[in-house]
A = this chain, B = another copy of it.
């Protein structure tokens, strides 16, 4: 790509950004779009439904930027939980890293690169026709002593990032403990999940659990809830809900039609019949539902898994940490999620089931990665216009138009890639859900990890090597050649990734701000349903797609920092946008659905360590190619030290992210001992973990009044 193509891309995107920002400023103030832009405030009743029109509503104002900027960490913590704080800290962390890299890159490395004369076609007068390669390390002469500056920069940035990582890990780890200490008693703190419960001869699973825990944990055991197979029941409830929804819709239509068009009596009659029929069918389903519920409550439908609650947090922790039975794959214990976080479908329970599904999911992820290669290859084809012209000669006339060719090379590839990538997070979430996790938060966390590696592999490596998947895999079997191969391929893709940051990065932040999909949905559905606003749920942020994207841009920044520092200013713009946009979204749009208390941070940490090591590998290769073997050899200790640092962090901080210490738990338990509210809390705990599908439901009773069901089962 040449400079002018990049400028085109930047121009288009800046214009898009600006117009999006203006559009947002205006749309946000329209009460019709409150459901899209401030659903959280609506749900909390913090907005006044002023329907009176005034001019102010049409003038864009930067007020929301100020509000988002002023939000303090404590406010964010209290309103959106620790996960939101950690997410924002990942963004600011990335910004800090890239700012430091940017200062070195732009003021030190870029001049060095430009002053080189390795590339012959440099034309400093007419710079816009230059290839972007002039700004990269490729322009530095082979064996030049200037390369030692790049060498020092690599050491410097590694040291800086490691320091930052250490303090960040420490801070988040202490924050996590503080958060736990200041939390009010929560059900999941007192509960563990026990799986693979061996059935005692004759008795039910419930008896078995009761007997085991009264026998071995008599002083702390409180109660238990056995999990039951409720997939059929859940299907029936969904049927009932759909039917109820249809019925409600029909009846509201009727009430609208009745006064307006008394003439169409036939139509009205037919609709009335329909209502009767629907009501009857709803009644049928409900009856079947109750039958099924009572059937499920019998012992036969028990899954060999149970939520076991204890009288103290420490008691629960002891039962969780100790191997309970002589057979380690029986009575397998793990932390319980909050009751509303439990993912009831796919409740696999035995050890072998979970093991096999894990293997299956691993294979599925592998296949997905390989199949995804096809769109990536097509996209890569677009950046090589010449190839495209030789393959499809009829496009030749079209492609020679400068503007079109610049759009195609600068803009289209990353847009296509982006739209394909949109499909990945839901797929990965589905794969994680069948892997045996029992909570939404765990599923999302696992999906976050999967999406991250998928992104790195399929965007970074696939774009860099642009070979077949099998070709890439072959690299794994010849690790010695990796640095050299990377050194050849990575700098060549600098311009692609700059364009990627500008298009995908900037646009993604702004499409997040403008809430593109909910907006479209609202535009499409609004005309058909009047009161959809009330039913709309407050969305929760999907960390499993947003964190990987953020981290991928850090990876790009870190790996390209010394190769093509020109990428850094664009990344800084991206992260500034992201900072403001997400803070705004946390205030207005997203409400937390679950709380992992910062357990996404270790994923970010390991991704940044991976970026560093990848950068080192590329640097080793580059210095070898640039005929500075001494620098290559001197770089070898750096990845080793980085990995040792990572190992230290794993030992020093990671344990705090999977469990709390005895010290903390006992202190917290003692504080609660004298709390009179604890007795009531423990009473509630006994029934907290019952499957919502087993709750009594009643649709028919209120189908006439058109209010929502009294006790609506959650999805």
Contact = CB atoms under 8 A, between A and B. Distances in A.
Interface of A: 177, 216, 317-319, 321-329, 351, 355, 359, 474, 477-480, 644, 648, 651-656, 659-664, 666
A221 to B, nearest CB: 12
Contacts of A662: 216, 319, 322-325
Nearest to A359: B644
Contacts of A318: 318, 321-322
Q: Which of A326, A654, A659 counts the most B-chain CB atoms under 10 A from its CB?
A: A326
Nearest to A644: B359
Contact of A317 (B322, B327, B659, B661): B322
Contacts of A661: 322-326, 328
Contacts of A653: 328
Contacts of A317: 322
Contacts of A323: 655-656, 659-662
Contact of A321 (B321, B355, B663): B321
B480 A328 contact: no
Contacts of A326: 177, 656, 661, 663-664
B663 A216 contact: yes
> Copy number in this complex?
2
A355 B645 CA distance: 12
B474 A656 contact: no
A42 to B, nearest CB: 40
A660 B323 CA distance: 7
Given A322-B661, A662-B324, A652 B329 contact: yes
Contacts of A325: 661-663
Contacts of A660: 323
Given A477-B478, A479-B477, A480-B474, A322 B324 contact: no
A653 B659 CA distance: 24
Nearest to A177: B326
A319 B319 CA distance: 12
Contact of A328 (B319, B474, B655): B655
A177 B478 CA distance: 45
A318 B664 CA distance: 15
A656 B648 CA distance: 28
Interface pairs A-B: 3 shortest CB-CB: A477-B480, A328-B655, A322-B662
B477 A351 contact: no
A479 B653 CA distance: 34
Given A216-B666, A328-B653, 9 more contacts: A177-B326, A323-B656, A323-B659, A324-B662, A324-B663, A325-B663, A328-B655, A328-B661, A355-B648
Contacts of A324: 661-663
Nearest to A655: B328
A665 to B, nearest CB: 8
A319 B661 CA distance: 11
A661 B331 CA distance: 11
19 contacts: A216-B662, A216-B663, A317-B322, A318-B322, A319-B662, A321-B321, A323-B661, A324-B662, A324-B663, A325-B661, A326-B663, A328-B652, A328-B655, A328-B656, A329-B651, A329-B652, A355-B648, A359-B644, A477-B480
